[in-house]
Amino acid sequence: MTALSAPAPAGVTWPGLRRSLVAILRGIAPLEAEAIVGALIEEGLEAIEIPLNSPDPFRSIETAARLAPSGVLIGAGTVLTSADVDRLAAAGGRLMVSPNVDPEVIARASGHGMVTMPGVLTPTEALAAVKAGASALKFFPANLLGPSIIQAITVILPAGTVVGAVGGVGENEFAAYARAGIRTFGLGSSLYRPGADADEVRARARAIIAAYDAACPAPTEPPTEIRHAPS
């Protein structure tokens, strides 16, 4: 079966990141945000998600957004309502990740110019997300589907649809997913757990980036300089 031609996108296009990796900092506290986010940016990660079920998440997002250069996406995960989207925009977030497909939430985020990544599990959900204008699809939990099933679902999607694997996927799985044509990943507990310090997270980021570069080779550039948040 041949992939369909992509319709004109209604939303914001997924950006051309050097590495299509989203760091998921579930449980991070505001006082940790500058050190952890700074370490990730310095190591070369360009998309960072702070889930809204973390402590005081919008404060952490504000700190991260002030810290990040323009080429680094800062945003929120577990976004469930349009009100969440509005608060995310006010905090400076430019990435909206949700666990579900809610066309109203996707449209609201797109209206704010945000990159959107709703969670999907089935072909029906994937097609609904594409129709709603999602920038990328988050297949979650990816470890329940595996590369072969996700690859089979992508056959029915418009050509050029960005497909990400999130949930139970770490650096040891990158190669298998890459062979299935999947080069976008969300990294949660394999990268960060609450209480981890910046040095631990930096070491994990280096291991993840090395594995990604081996599985998904691409030209690399020097690390991005960061702006430190005012004290």
pLDDT for the residue numbered 7: 40
Q: Which tokens go with 33?
A: 């945000």
pTM of the entire structure?
A: 0.88
pLDDT for the residue numbered 222: 52
Which has the closest alpha carbon to 39: 198, 203, 196, 146?
198
Q: pLDDT tens track of the chain, all 231 residues?
A: 333 333 434 579 999 999 999 999 999 999 999 999 999 999 999 999 999 999 999 999 999 999 999 999 999 999 999 999 999 999 999 999 999 999 999 999 999 999 999 999 999 999 999 999 999 999 999 999 999 999 999 999 999 999 999 999 999 999 999 999 999 999 999 999 999 999 999 999 999 999 999 999 965 455 555 455 554
Dist. CA 100–CA 120, nearest whole Å: 6
Q: How far is CA 153 from CA 92, 115, 139, 157, in A?
A: 34, 22, 10, 7
166 forms beta bridges with 186
Q: Which one of the listed residues 34, 46, 49, 173 is annotated catalytic?
A: 49
Assess whether 34 carries a catalytic annotation.
no
Q: Which one of the listed residues 34, 43, 62, 138 is annotated catalytic?
A: 138
Q: How far is CA 184 from CA 120, 158, 191, 196, in A?
A: 14, 17, 15, 24
Q: What angle do CA 3, 6, 9 make, to 5 degrees?
A: 150
Specify the CATH superfamily of domain 21-215. Answer: Aldolase class I (3.20.20.70)
Assess whether 138 carries a catalytic annotation.
yes
Domain range list for the chain: 21-215
The DSSP symbol for 159 reads: T
Q: Which tokens go with 144?
A: 């329940």
